[in-house]
Amino acid sequence: MRKVSAIIIAAFLMIAAQAQERLIPLKYIQDKEKPTLVMFTASWCGPCKYMKESVMKESKVKKVLDGFNVLLLDVDQNDGKVFSERFIPMGYKGSIPYFAILDKSGKVIDTLLGSVKQKEFLAFLSKAEEEK
């Protein structure tokens, strides 16, 4: 029984690790020398609107975002729907805004779920710098 449990846990960890390494196709990334911020969003999402219209437009955040490719994907529209189904981990399906920072090769550095204040968002974005 312990052996079966260990195998199931190992399989789950492998699947979770693979999910974290799923890539957004590089054709969606404009500048291959910059990290990418992916935001899964929707037109009806209040927290998404708050992030796009308030936090992401604050001068300090805008300055940091200049160093990123910013990819906004609407979960109700074509590519956004496809990528959100493949990209957002199972337990977070339907939870937006969902942010992911991708390194230059498109690999996930870190993720953030929900709306946050400027200070927290800047701390999240700084993870891209730590990877350089």
Q: Which domains can be identified in the chain, with CATH numbers? A: 2-130 (3.40.30.10)
C-alpha–C-alpha distance, residues 49 and 113, integer Å: 14
Cβ atoms of 108 and 101 within 8 Å: the answer is yes
Q: Which amino acid is at 79?
A: D
More confidently predicted of 52 and 7: 52
C-alpha–C-alpha distance, residues 13 and 40, integer Å: 24
> Which pLDDT score is estimated for 83?
78
Q: Record the pTM.
A: 0.76
Q: Which amino acid is at 105?
A: S
> Which pLDDT score is estimated for 5?
43
Name the maximum alpha-carbon separation found in the chain. 57
DSSP-derived 3-state class of residue 95:
coil
Cβ atoms of 124 and 99 within 8 Å: the answer is yes
Mean of pLDDT values over 18-45? 75
Check whether 85 has a pLDDT greater than 70. Answer: yes
- Top mean-pLDDT range of 19-33, 70-84, 88-102, 113-127: 113-127
Cβ atoms of 47 and 108 within 8 Å: the answer is no
